[in-house]
Structures are given as C-alpha cells and as structure tokens.
Amino acid sequence: MARQLHVELVAVEEKVWSGDADMVLARTTEGDLGVLYGHELLLGQLAEEGQVRIKQADKELAYDVAGGFISVTGTGVTILAESCAPASSASAAH
C-alpha cells in the first residue's frame, strides 16, 4: 500500500478540508504540480485562478481556488488559498 500525504486546505475564512490523500494536483504560477508522498520540499505560489484536486483511493475532491500558496513537505501538503469553493461540475471536468 502506498503511503499517503496529510493534506490541509485552508481559505482565509476557514479550514476547508483536512485528511489523507494519495495525490494532490494544483496549478501554480510556474505550471501544474502533482504531489505524491515523498515529494521534494517546495513552497509555491498558486495561480490567480486554478483548481486543487485531492485524489483518494475511492474518490476525487476538486476545489476552485484563487491565489495563495502551497507548501509541500516529505509527508504532507498545506494549501493556503485566498478564496476556495467546491468546484462546479463544469470546471471539475477539466
């Protein structure tokens, strides 16, 4: 069994989601980023408009985010977004 990341997704107003995941995908100002357990340490700036997808074994969660930062350690990911909302079904398809 693959090891999982601990993920914290936080918006200015509240903690949006917290839990374990197999993979996190995010759009940064440098391009798309995929994070698995053991990823190199990283601090990145989120794109002004983008999406964060949290993949678990049995489901995928998608959130529309605007601005903020992503911090990656060897065992986890913290996403601090200026704004965050569950992705609409139209934007989740992309």
Query: Tens digit of pLDDT for each residue in 18-44?
Result: 999 999 999 999 999 999 999 999 999
Q: What is the DSSP letter of 86?
A: E
Strand residues in 22-59 grouped as ranges (E): 23-28, 31-35, 42-45, 50-55
Please state which CATH number belongs to domain 5-92.
2.60.15.10
Burial class (CB in 10 A: 0-12, 13-18, 19+), 42: middle
Query: Tens digit of pLDDT for each residue in 41-57?
Result: 999 999 999 999 999 99
Interatomic CA distance for residues 2 and 76, integer angstroms: 14
Token pair listed for 87: 């992705």
Check pLDDT > 60 for residue 6: yes
Token pair listed for 7: 């993920």
